[in-house]
Amino acid sequence: MRILRNRLASTVALGTALLLVACGTSTGTTVPTQTGPLSIGVIAPFTGPAAEFGTLLTAPCLVATDMINAAGGIMGHQANCVSVDDTGDQADAVPNVTRAIATTSNFDMAIGLESNTAATTVPLVNDAKIPFFTTNGLSSFNTNSLAYYYRMTPGDDANGAAFAVWAVKQGYKNVAIVFQNNIGSEGNLPGLTAAMPKLGGTISLNLTIPADAASYSAEAARVIAAKPDALIWSGDPQTTATFLANYKSLNNGVLPAMVTATDSLTPDFFSAVKKSVGVQYLTDQMWLVGSYFDQTTPAFNTYKAALLANSKTHDIAGGLSNVGPPAGAYDGINIMALAMIIAGTTVGSYYNQHILDVVAPKAGATVVGNFADGAAALKAGKTIQYVGVLGAAKFDKSHNSGGQFAADKFGADGSATQVGVIDGAQVLQLLG
């Protein structure tokens, strides 16, 4: 039988007591089983102004499922990515996600649940007992009691503080903050405004602008008048391109340096800004700050190679391979899949308790960085620790895992290179 989410609560427990060789323990509890392929919900905007994020987040899901299926699936189950369009708008997100939960077969994993809609989508998925790895950065989730929630990237407040650290490190002590008026952008403000004065810097202007306006000449004039050393910026590709073009026109062709988020390491952003103000600005005067991960590890190299090998993800692999949240989605899928094997079931309410087992350091554990290696080790009766593209996950009581921060720069071909590391402990201290 293929279990639908709205029928899961009535599923009859099947099977006998399972020997959990991976944990070295046994249980007398029977668990429900499922048949047919498993659905991984990619909950993100696929339409609307932020639709590119849905495409970007689908890429790591496609790569993860390709690799899982090539390794024989999860206990024989093939895995599929299912797009759930939240449109980036809470009013649309609630009915769309509710409908997907009710009608999608074997929906027991989810990724996405991004900042613009997370306040409403996260509770829905958690209440449905679907384990999920979220890419939201809302500080409201820094402390929570949600059993099925996991986040492998820092909150937006911490990312905002990291912006300040990097700006000051580059000698930019008088900055203008210009953020697009959406939840994801504005979440960086508390950390940024708290950190900048502690680092000896000043904020000459703090400006919120609407998205995708035809002109930002008035706003650009205000920033020019403030005479900042640099912009601390957050905006979508079109907003950024238009604002910079207006600024350049009004300021005799001169643009300030920019510190923005690694979320902008995308082909759309690179293309729009290049067309607007030229490639030299992107390569010489723009810094992109966000989650750190080691680009030399086997886990990273496996992930990047798989992105490049897949025809559907090849074209965006150059930028995507340097973006934290999508890479965290890939890690999250692998972690949930391996937790299913340990639990002996694909049902979320059962395997969820083993997610932390997958990432916890253990004496004698085999360190793995992909699903195939993890599944093989578990089959051989070994304990494992998954250390993926984002490194070792260290979840706190609220299932948030932070870490270091990094700064990247664009190359002339739109690829990105990591150029510096920001101490996570320093960032947290600035938030205290």
Q: Mind listing the pLDDT tens digit for each residue in 70-124?
A: 999 999 999 999 999 999 999 999 999 999 999 999 999 999 999 999 999 999 9
Secondary structure of residue 43 in the 3-state scheme = strand
* Domain boundaries defined on the chain: 5-151+323-392, 157-294+404-431
pLDDT recorded at residue 28: 52
pLDDT recorded at residue 182: 83
pLDDT recorded at residue 294: 83
- Position 16 confidence tier, pLDDT thresholds 50, 70, 90: very low
Place of tokens 């920019």: 258
pLDDT recorded at residue 112: 96
For residue 192, give both structure tokens.
Answer: 């940024």
Q: What is the CATH number of domain 5-151+323-392?
A: 3.40.50.2300
pLDDT recorded at residue 29: 63
pLDDT of residue 32 exceeding 80: yes
User: Which neighbouring-strand residues pair with 421?
Assistant: 406
User: Which neighbouring-strand residues pair with 43?
Assistant: 84, 112
Q: Do 5-151+323-392 and 157-294+404-431 agree at the fold level?
A: yes
Write b or e for each residue in 211-230: b if 16 or more Cβ atoms lie within 10 A of its Cβ, otherwise e: eeeeebbebbeebbeeebbb
pLDDT of residue 409 exceeding 50: yes
Sheet holding 132-134, edge to edge: 79-85, 38-44, 107-112, 132-134, 149-151
Q: In this predicted model, what pLDDT tens digit does every residue of 222-273 receive, in sequence order?
A: 999 999 999 999 999 999 999 999 999 999 999 999 999 988 988 889 999 9
CATH superfamily of 157-294+404-431: Response regulator (3.40.50.2300)
pLDDT recorded at residue 322: 64
Nearest to 13 by CA among 34, 35, 30: 30
For residue 140, give both structure tokens.
Answer: 């409201």
DSSP string, 327-375: HHHHHHHHHHHHHHHHHT---HHHHGGGHHHHHS--TTPEEESSHHHHH
pLDDT recorded at residue 153: 87
What average pLDDT is seen over the chain? Answer: 90
Please calculate the CA angle 175-169-389 and round it to the nearest 5 degrees.
Answer: 110
Place of tokens 């009691």: 145
pLDDT recorded at residue 416: 87
Of 53-57, 254-258, 365-369, minimum mean pLDDT range: 53-57
User: Between the CA of residue 154 and those of 5, 232, 354, what are the distances in Å?
Assistant: 30, 18, 22
